[in-house]
Amino acid sequence: DGGITQSPKYLFRKEGQNVTLSCEQNLNHDAMYWYRQDPGQGLRLIYYSQIVNDFQKGDIAEGYSVSREKKESFPLTVTSAQKNPTAFYLCASSTGGGQNTEAFFGQGTRLTVV
């Protein structure tokens, strides 16, 4: 089935560690996105990529890094510089360009700092 797969579902990180969240899509979408969800604040855009080997900062990029080496994959690294990383992280993809579709979302990764 076509869709977006995020892994792991739950992730625990010790303070000072970097962790990488995986996002894979088999929808042949050009554009991919990472959002962070905190209680009562809705979703905020961290990074997005509209094409392979290119990505842009969103509204809250500090303390995060991404790569887009393959069309299907858009991993997010939460670095030790992120002061408050405990949150729910959602990955999304869309066709972008002239043949837009609405964004499809993965099931999320819940990251907890211990």
Q: Report in angstroms how near the CB of residue 82 gets to another protein at its nearest.
A: 20
- 88 lies in the binding site for another protein (CB under 8 A): yes
Q: In whole angstroms, give the CA distance from residue 103 to residue 80.
A: 29
Q: How far apart are the first and last CA of the chain?
A: 35
Interaction with another protein in 1-30: which residues (CB under 8 A)? none
In whole angstroms, the minimum distance from the beta carbon of 67 to another protein comes to 18
- The DSSP code for 114 is -
Stretch binding another protein (CB under 8 A), from 13-21, 60-68, 73-81, 99-107: 99-107
- The CB density around residue 77, as the number of other CB atoms within 10 Å, is 14
- What are 60's two structure tokens? 């809250």
Angle at the Cα of 79 (from 104 to 15), degrees rounded to 5? 115
- Counting Cα atoms < 13 Å in the Cβ hemisphere of 73 gives 9
Among 2, 10, 42, 83, binds another protein (CB under 8 A): 42
Size of the site for another protein (CB under 8 A): 31
Q: Which stretch binds another protein (CB under 8 A): 14-22, 63-71, 73-81, 103-111?
A: 103-111
